[in-house]
């Protein structure tokens, strides 16, 4: 257990980096999903206009 | 080429750009004598805290751009009475507010490690707090008015008046008053950081970060506007 804590302590910058990259990936996936939904809705609205 | 641009390809490029900024901003080491391309120089008075510049400055930069664009669309609304300009201005003000909070939080974290406390009422901190209050009042104003046209008109006027304070609070006041923030009137330690203390590698990552965050703002703004526009059109039906 001590080894794990020591390892995390020595590599804290990498732990922070992994957390930040995961957060950014989550935000990106959310935005891509929203982008897809908006495109579909725009198609529906433009069809209704026609 | 046009087909490639119209696909999601550009978003994946932006994902890689921001990922690179995150990796370079967090993991690249600061050295007394930089020898490799990925080494940053040690800046007297900033030390390891200097890395915050890759995230704090771009968020403050986007705040100014977003509030400027919000003012621009408010002027366009007053000239044309087109409600979609009001939606554009509103989405940009929302994004400006989000990035302003991010700039405040990143600055506050930096202050904890550089000055010992999260908040000091330094001129820079006070000015960004005043800015948050001014733009917070814009959203309170919008939510208090039910008539669509009246809301759009009043918030456009308020938005234009609000932006007049932005250059003063962001660029002028913190520079003419003595304070702790780099670049203040009595600063003889760390500032100006960008021009003289960074090496070419650090400057390249810094400007790349500014560019990437600007593209991220443009993407989120377009997406936010499309959502607001669709919501408006569906509500009208």
Contact flag A21-B230 (C-beta cutoff 8 Å): no
Contact flag A35-B19 (C-beta cutoff 8 Å): no
What residue of B is the nearest CA neighbor of A35?
B223
- What's the longest Cα–Cα distance across chain A? 68
Better-scored residue on pLDDT, B158 or B181: B158
For residue B215, give both structure tokens. 């593209």
Q: What span, in angstroms and rounded, lies between the C-alpha atoms of A38 and A26? A: 18
- pLDDT tens for B95-120 read 999 999 999 999 999 888 888 889 88
Is B76 a member of any domain? yes
Q: What is the pLDDT of residue A8?
A: 78
- pLDDT tens for B19-66 read 999 999 998 888 888 888 888 888 777 777 888 889 999 999 999 999
Q: Does A1 contact chain B (CB < 8 Å)?
A: no
Cβ–Cβ < 8 Å for A35, B11: yes
Q: What is the pLDDT of residue B29?
A: 87
Q: What is the pLDDT of residue B92?
A: 97
For residue B231, give both structure tokens. 């919501």
Q: What span, in angstroms and rounded, lies between the C-alpha atoms of B134 and B154? A: 15
Tell which A residues from 12 to 31 touch B, by Cβ distance under 8 Å.
Answer: 13-14, 16-17, 20-21, 24, 28, 31
pLDDT band at B177 (very low <50, low <70, confident <90, very high): confident
Is B135 a member of any domain? yes
The ipTM is 0.86
Is B8 a member of any domain? no
Cβ–Cβ < 8 Å for B51, B21: no
Better-scored residue on pLDDT, B173 or B193: B173
Better-scored residue on pLDDT, B12 or B33: B12
Is B200 a member of any domain? yes
Is B39 a member of any domain? no
Give the number of domains in chain B: 1
- What's the longest Cα–Cα distance across chain B? 65
Return the DSSP state at B91: H
Q: What span, in angstroms and rounded, lies between the C-alpha atoms of B117 and B119? A: 6
Contact flag B226-A42 (C-beta cutoff 8 Å): yes
CA distances from B1 to A24, B4, B9, B10, B86 (A): 28, 5, 11, 12, 34
* Average pLDDT across chain B, whole number: 88
Residue A4 has pLDDT above 90, yes or no: no
Cβ–Cβ < 8 Å for B67, B163: yes
| Partner residue facing B226 (CB), from A20, A21, A38 | A38
What residue of A is the nearest CA neighbor of B8?
A32
Contact flag B223-A41 (C-beta cutoff 8 Å): no
Residue B194 has pLDDT above 60, yes or no: no
On the CB side of B104, CA atoms within 13 Å amount to 19
Is B18 a member of any domain? no
B75 membership: H or E segment, kind and range: helix B53-80
**Closest C-alpha to B135, from B104, B108, B176:** B104
Range of the domain at B165: 52-236
Among residues of chain B, what percentage have pLDDT more than 90? Answer: 57
Q: What is the pLDDT of residue B5?
A: 67
Please compute the mean of the pLDDT values over residues B216-226 and round it to a whole number.
Answer: 96
């Amino acid at each position: 257990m001590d080894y794990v804590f020591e390892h995390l302590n020595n590599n804290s910058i990498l732990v922070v980096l992994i957390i930040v990259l995961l957060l950014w990936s989550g935000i990106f996936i959310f935005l891509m999903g929203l982008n897809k939904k908006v495109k579909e809705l725009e198609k529906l609205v433009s069809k209704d206009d026609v | 080429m046009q087909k490639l641009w119209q696909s999601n390809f550009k978003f994946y490029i932006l994902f890689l750009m921001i990922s690179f900024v995150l990796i370079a901003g967090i993991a690249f080491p600061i050295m007394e004598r930089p020898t490799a391309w990925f080494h940053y120089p040690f800046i007297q008075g900033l030390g390891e805290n200097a890395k915050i510049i890759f995230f704090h400055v771009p968020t403050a930069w986007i705040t100014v751009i977003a509030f400027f664009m919000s003012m621009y669309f408010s002027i366009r609304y007053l000239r044309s009475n087109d409600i979609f300009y009001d939606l554009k201005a509103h989405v940009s003000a929302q994004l400006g507010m989000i990035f302003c909070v991010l700039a405040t939080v990143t600055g506050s974290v930096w202050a904890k490690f550089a000055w010992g406390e999260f908040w000091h009422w330094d001129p820079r901190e006070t000015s960004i707090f005043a800015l948050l209050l001014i733009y917070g009042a814009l959203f309170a104003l919008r939510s208090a008015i039910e008539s669509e046209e009246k809301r759009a008109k009043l918030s456009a006027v308020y938005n234009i008046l609000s932006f007049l304070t932005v250059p003063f609070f962001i660029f002028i006041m913190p520079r003419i008053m003595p304070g702790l923030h780099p670049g203040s009137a009595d600063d003889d330690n760390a500032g100006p950081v960008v021009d003289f203390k960074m090496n070419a590698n650090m400057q390249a990552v810094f400007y790349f970060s500014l560019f990437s965050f600007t593209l991220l703002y443009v993407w989120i703004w377009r997406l936010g506007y499309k959502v607001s526009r669709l919501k408006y059109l569906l509500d009208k039906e």
